[in-house]
């Protein structure tokens, strides 16, 4: 009875809070700490309700482990005034103390066990956006290919800015002769050609492949004569192979359309080509020279370009076999500013160059090749008369073609050397590039003269809608030159006009070769023309539209004009290139090369002078069928083997001393050719997209 009141009194007097102290009470066998589930007694069956959420295992505490106690709340830190902070002297420990102090690093276990603390999403979105400072980026810092690069405009945002490649170089090729697919393909063509006033059946197997750096295209054009030129009495011609296509060594290399490494104005570019024209340097010697302009003679050209930050070179050869033609050119340049590693744009871009161009087998005079007379046609001293005894015409300005329809000629050599200087005066990011240049050239062969030019070359790029690149190329040039010099001596129709230049020129009694017209040939009655110092100009404008990069051209337009104070220096061209639709592509070129003047036609009496028309179209009809149409109007040898030509003009007097009034027969007459064929085969692209996008092209937002 006494025990019960004592226990009640003790419970009332006992404290209700656990005793304070750094240590937890010892675990007693059979007892459980507060907050833990009682353990199952030995030999008994206990049922425990599983927790709603799995909790981490509690670490067993020893009797000496302290109880973690949350620290009391601390007052907010008080920041001193800004003036006090700025006025306070900066105290730095001595360098010796910093170097001698041991580096204290937390244990690896503590770093790994520390929980990752992430701020709430609301705090991230509400935080101000910090702008990154602009960092200049060079092309060497960017991955290949350097067509498009993505830069982050803001920290933590997905905003992207596209930097397109700066498009430079030629956007189109005025003077190109064919249009082929820009995609990998293997095809077989069947069609017809109207050529030589005859109808031919055409069979053309072809293939092309484009790799990252290399590309090639081959074909074997076989033209079989189906109907003879006699329209009034069409007869089957036996499907004979056209002889003029395969009668010279150089003709067999026409199977190569092109074999190319790189692109023009790359650091390394090389191409074996039968399609594209050739230009050298600032085009004072070679201006869009077309080696395949004579349709009866195929020349396969070679072009090589290489440069680095210090030096560079360029090589041209019009015929890799060196049999059909021996025209060659070379250019080497040095950039002295690059050795000083200067950042000055003008000094760093200064370039000094030397140049050479020549023809080692240029037609010097045309031989008569008639009645045992193999002398050259004379430019003076001719007489148009009939021998009263024999009734033979004594005019010695008639020539006869050889067995292969060509002309017997005496050849000479043409050599020209020159120097050039260019300097970039403006470079604004990837939008503008402006150069000034000056040139001086001299022909070294007999009768050669000299000339110079000063010009301005500008290249401008702009973008629209974030993906379209509009590129402009503008050239303006002033020329001054004397007798014995011709700017752009090796031009588009050189392979034709080297035999006859200036049909109907009243200075001579016979049509001169280009050599005789420029340098003179006194031994054969062609004195060098005397015009004195001539002043001239050249202006060209090119526009190109590209989607995302240089390789994805959609449209190109080129126009140019040149003239001088002398005759036969007028030239103009217009070229359109339209590959935008993909399934329908076309190009067209009009050229007048070395015309007499803008007011009058170069051709007199309907004979060929320098007017050139070239056009081509390619359309995808079905997935495996492609239509090709090509038209070309240019000079061609019309007559066959042994044909007679009269190269004299109306200035030749008769036996009474009066002008005979004879009209010359052009060695090359204006002729039209039309080619139509259907290609059947495989092409890597279906071609039915209005705007083909590259795989890495951005999508519109």
pLDDT above 70 coverage of the chain, percent: 69
Close Cβ partners of 457 (under 8 Å, ≥ 6 residues apart): 434, 435, 436, 437, 473, 474, 475
Burial 350-383 (b: 16+ CB within 10 A, else e): bbebebbbbbebbbbbbbbbbeeeeebbbbeebb
**Would you say residue 238 lies in a domain?**
yes
Report the pLDDT value the prediction gives residue 387, as an integer from 0 to 100.
Answer: 65
Close Cβ partners of 475 (under 8 Å, ≥ 6 residues apart): 455, 456, 457, 458, 538, 539, 540, 541
Report the pLDDT value the prediction gives residue 247, as an integer from 0 to 100.
Answer: 87
**Would you say residue 95 lies in a domain?**
no
CA atoms within 13 A on the CB side of 259: 11
* Residue 155: pLDDT over 60: no
**Would you say residue 377 lies in a domain?**
yes
At 516, the pLDDT band (50, 70, 90 cuts) reads very high
Q: Which pLDDT tens digit goes with each residue over 328-349? A: 999 999 999 888 887 788 888 8
Q: Which pLDDT tens digit goes with each residue over 214-267? A: 999 999 999 999 987 665 566 677 888 998 899 899 999 999 999 999 988 789
Q: Which pLDDT tens digit goes with each residue over 413-428? A: 999 999 999 999 988 8
Nearest residue to 298 (alpha-carbon basis) of 327, 273, 279: 273
Q: SS3 for 562?
A: strand
Q: Residue 231: which domain range?
A: 185-683
- Whether residue 577 contacts residue 587, with contact meaning beta carbons closer than 8 Å, is answered with yes
User: What is the DSSP secondary structure assignment for residue 415, as one 8-state letter?
Assistant: E
Tell me the mean pLDDT in the region 546-562. 89
**Would you say residue 54 lies in a domain?**
no
Q: What are phi and psi of 224, to 5 degrees?
A: -115, 125
- Whether residue 453 contacts residue 488, with contact meaning beta carbons closer than 8 Å, is answered with no
Q: In the chain, how many domains are there?
A: 1
* Residue 116: pLDDT over 70: no
Dist. CA 18–CA 26, nearest whole Å: 13
**Would you say residue 7 lies in a domain?**
no
Nearest residue to 611 (alpha-carbon basis) of 629, 627, 636, 591: 591
The pTM (predicted TM-score) of the whole model is 0.72
At 97, the pLDDT band (50, 70, 90 cuts) reads low
Count of Cβ atoms closer than 10 Å to residue 240 Cβ:
11
**Would you say residue 149 lies in a domain?**
no
pLDDT above 90 coverage of the chain, percent: 42
Dist. CA 292–CA 307, nearest whole Å: 28
- Whether residue 423 contacts residue 349, with contact meaning beta carbons closer than 8 Å, is answered with yes
Report the pLDDT value the prediction gives residue 395, as an integer from 0 to 100.
Answer: 83
**Would you say residue 396 lies in a domain?**
yes
Report the pLDDT value the prediction gives residue 104, as an integer from 0 to 100.
Answer: 57
Whole-number average pLDDT of the chain: 78
Report the pLDDT value the prediction gives residue 532, as an integer from 0 to 100.
Answer: 92
**Would you say residue 51 lies in a domain?**
no
């Amino acid at each position: 009875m006494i025990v019960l009141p004592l226990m009640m009194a003790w419970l009332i007097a006992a404290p209700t809070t656990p005793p304070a102290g750094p240590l937890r009470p010892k675990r007693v066998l059979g007892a459980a700490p507060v907050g833990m589930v009682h353990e199952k007694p030995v030999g008994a069956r206990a049922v425990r309700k599983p927790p709603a959420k799995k909790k981490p295992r509690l670490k067993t505490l020893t009797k000496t482990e302290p109880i973690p106690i949350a620290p009391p709340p601390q007052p907010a830190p008080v920041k001193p005034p800004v003036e006090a902070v700025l006025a306070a002297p900066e105290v730095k420990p001595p360098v010796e103390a910093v170097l001698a102090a041991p580096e204290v690093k937390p244990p690896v276990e503590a770093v790994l066990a520390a929980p990752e603390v992430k701020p709430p999403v609301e705090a991230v979105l509400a935080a101000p956006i910090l702008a990154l400072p602009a960092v200049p980026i060079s092309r060497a810092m960017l991955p290949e290919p350097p067509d498009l690069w993505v830069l982050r405009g803001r920290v933590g945002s997905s905003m992207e800015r596209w930097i397109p490649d700066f498009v430079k170089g030629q956007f189109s090729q005025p003077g190109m002769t064919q249009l082929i697919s820009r995609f990998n393909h293997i095809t077989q063509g069947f069609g017809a050609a109207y050529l030589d006033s005859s109808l031919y059946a055409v069979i053309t197997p072809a293939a092309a492949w484009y790799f990252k750096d290399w590309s090639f295209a081959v074909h074997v054009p076989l033209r079989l004569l189906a109907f003879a030129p006699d329209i009034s009495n069409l007869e089957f011609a036996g499907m004979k192979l056209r002889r003029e296509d395969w009668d010279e060594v150089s003709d067999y290399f026409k199977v190569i359309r092109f074999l190319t490494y790189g692109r023009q104005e790359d650091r390394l570019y090389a191409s074996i080509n039968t399609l594209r024209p050739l230009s050298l340097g600032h085009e004072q010697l070679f201006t869009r020279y077309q080696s395949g302009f004579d349709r009866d003679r195929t020349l396969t050209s070679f072009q090589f370009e290489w440069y680095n930050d210090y030096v560079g070179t360029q090589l041209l050869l019009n015929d890799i076999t060196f049999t059909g033609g021996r025209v060659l050119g070379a250019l080497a340049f040095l950039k002295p500013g690059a050795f000083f590693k200067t950042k000055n744009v003008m000094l760093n871009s200064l370039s000094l160059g030397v140049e050479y161009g020549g023809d080692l087998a240029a037609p010097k005079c045309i031989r008569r090749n008639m009645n045992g007379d193999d002398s050259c046609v004379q430019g003076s001293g001719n007489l148009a008369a009939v021998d009263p005894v024999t009734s033979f015409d004594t005019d010695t300005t008639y020539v006869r073609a050889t067995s292969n329809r060509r002309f017997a000629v005496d050849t000479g050599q043409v050599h020209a050397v020159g120097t050039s200087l260019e300097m970039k005066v403006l470079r604004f990011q990837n939008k503008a590039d402006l150069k000034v240049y000056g040139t001086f050239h001299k022909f070294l062969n007999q009768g050669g003269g000299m000339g110079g030019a000063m010009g301005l070359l500008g290249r401008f790029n702009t973008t629209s809608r974030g993906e379209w690149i509009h590129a402009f190329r503008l050239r303006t040039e002033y020329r001054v030159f004397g007798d014995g010099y011709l700017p752009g001596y090796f031009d588009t129709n050189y392979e034709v006009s080297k035999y006859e230049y200036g049909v109907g020129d009243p200075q001579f009694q016979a049509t001169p070769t280009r050599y005789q017209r420029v340098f003179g040939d006194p031994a054969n009655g062609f004195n060098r023309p005397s015009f004195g110092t001539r002043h001239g100009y050249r202006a060209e404008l090119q526009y190109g539209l590209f989607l995302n990069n240089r390789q994805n051209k959609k449209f190109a337009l080129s126009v140019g004009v040149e003239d001088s104070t002398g005759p036969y220096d007028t030239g103009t061209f217009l070229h359109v290139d339209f590959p935008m639709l993909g399934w329908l592509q076309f190009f067209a070129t009009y050229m007048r090369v070395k015309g007499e003047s803008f007011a009058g036609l170069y051709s007199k009496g309907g004979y060929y002078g320098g007017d050139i028309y070239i056009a081509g179209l390619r359309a995808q009809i079905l997935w495996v069928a492609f239509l090709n149409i090509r038209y070309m109007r240019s000079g061609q040898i019309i007559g066959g083997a042994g044909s007679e030509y009269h190269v004299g003009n109306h200035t030749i007097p008769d036996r009474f001393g009066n002008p005979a009034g004879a009209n010359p027969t052009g060695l090359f007459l204006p002729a039209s050719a039309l080619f139509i064929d259907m290609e059947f085969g495989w092409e890597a692209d279906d071609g039915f997209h209005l705007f083909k996008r590259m795989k890495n092209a951005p999508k519109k937002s």
